[in-house]
């Protein structure tokens, strides 16, 4: 994060506050994470997501969506002999056999998955498993926590997702609690220990806590008649958002608002129900 901010500082107005730059960078990085184009590791480090093509099924050889490291996009077009512009993100395979196309893509380190395969691989909402916590204890005590400012705890309530982040108190902090530090570091509190966890694990933990508290996140169609889904201020795990993007189209001029065809609407609702959401 520091390196990104320093590079941007060289080409921006020197009068622009550093805090504003950091906020904008974090927002952009979160958006790229949600779109599964980058992954975030510990210590505010980022890496590109593996290049992947998503197909509706094995019989459908058109409209494969590209996700991940865009450096592989033109190579995917070349491999599939698409005869399209190399910047097109929906690829129409010129190879008329799914298995042969998949094999050629694998030779170039590009994955080809069907939606069924993606669905079967979707992670369930869960608290961070022990193997993710082991060795990642965070040097913090409860008494030190109460002295910190701008720390937020995820508290499932009847509210929007962004409004469930609240200042922790001795009453709300208990074993199996999720916290967020001002620098976007996520901590999991369990058995009197704080553990540093990655953002995707934190998002899965959010839906786990919702389920435990019986406070499902409400997802409301922006315009049910027009099949428009508004995901502003809603953060989903990488794999789930990737699936939703495959089943929808972004609406131009409306950030994180998507059109879902009537045929795909039950599938879109299924992924939210899988996460335990109340979608209506």
On whether the CB atoms of residues 222 and 231 are closer than 8 A, the answer is no
Mean pLDDT in residue range 151-171: 94
> Is a pLDDT exceeding 60 seen at residue 1?
no
Residue 14 or 60, more confident: 60
pLDDT score for 234: 93
Q: Give the confidence band of 119 by pLDDT, cuts at 50, 70, 90.
A: confident
By C-alpha distance, which of 251, 171, 159, 148 is closest to 206? 159
pLDDT, residue 203, reads 97
Q: Answer yes or no: is pLDDT of 44 > 70.
A: no
**pLDDT tens digits, 72-94:** 999 999 999 999 999 999 999 99
> 254 falls in which pLDDT band (50, 70, 90)?
confident
What is the mean predicted confidence (pLDDT) over 177-189?
A: 95
Q: What does the pLDDT read at residue 194?
A: 97
Q: Comparing 94 with 253, which gets the higher pLDDT? A: 94
Closest CA to 44 of 190, 198, 150, 167: 198
Q: 54 and 47 in contact (C-beta within 8 Å)?
A: no
- How do beta strands 52-55 and 111-114 pair? parallel
Residue 1 to residues 8, 37, 150, 200: CA-CA distances in angstroms? Answer: 11, 17, 19, 18
Give the model's confidence band at 9: pLDDT under 50 very low, under 70 low, under 90 confident, else very high.
Answer: low
Where do the structural domains in the chain lie, given as residue ranges? 52-121, 130-213, 218-279
Q: Which two tokens stand for residue 27?
A: 């927002």
Token readout for 128 is 């961070």
pTM to 2 decimal places: 0.65
Residues 164/157, Cβ–Cβ less than 8 Å: yes
Using the CB atoms, write b or e for 132-145: b if 16+ within 10 Å.
ebeebebebeeeeb
Position 15 scores a pLDDT of 67
Comparing CA positions, the residue from 182, 50, 235, 209 lying closest to residue 128 is 209
Mean pLDDT along residues 213-239:
89
């Amino acid at each position: 994060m520091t390196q990104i901010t320093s590079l941007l500082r060289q080409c921006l107005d020197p009068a622009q506050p550093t805090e504003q730059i950091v906020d904008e960078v974090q927002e952009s990085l979160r958006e790229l994470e949600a779109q599964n184009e980058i992954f975030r590791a510990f210590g505010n480090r980022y890496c590109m997501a593996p290049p992947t093509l998503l197909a509706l099924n094995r019989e459908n050889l058109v409209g494969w969506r590209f996700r991940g490291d865009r450096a592989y996009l033109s190579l995917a077009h070349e491999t599939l002999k698409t005869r399209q512009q190399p910047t097109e993100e929906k690829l129409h395979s010129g190879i008329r056999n799914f298995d042969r196309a998949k094999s050629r893509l694998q030779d170039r380190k590009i994955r080809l998955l069907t939606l069924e395969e993606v669905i079967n691989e979707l992670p369930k909402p869960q608290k961070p498993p022990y193997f993710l916590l082991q060795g990642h204890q965070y040097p913090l005590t409860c008494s030190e926590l109460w002295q910190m400012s701008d720390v937020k705890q995820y508290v499932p309530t009847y509210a929007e997702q962004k409004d469930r982040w609240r200042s922790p108190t001795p009453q709300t902090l208990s074993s199996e609690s999720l916290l967020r530090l001002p620098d976007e570091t996520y901590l999991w509190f369990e058995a009197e220990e704080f553990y540093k966890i990655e953002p995707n694990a934190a998002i899965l933990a959010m839906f786990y806590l919702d389920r435990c508290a019986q406070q499902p996140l409400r997802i409301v169609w922006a315009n049910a008649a027009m099949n428009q889904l508004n995901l502003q201020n809603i953060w989903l795990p990488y794999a789930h958002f990737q699936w939703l993007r495959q089943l929808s189209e972004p609406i131009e001029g409306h950030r994180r608002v998507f059109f879902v065809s009537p045929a795909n609407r039950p599938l879109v609702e299924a992924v939210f129900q899988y996460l335990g959401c109340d979608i209506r």
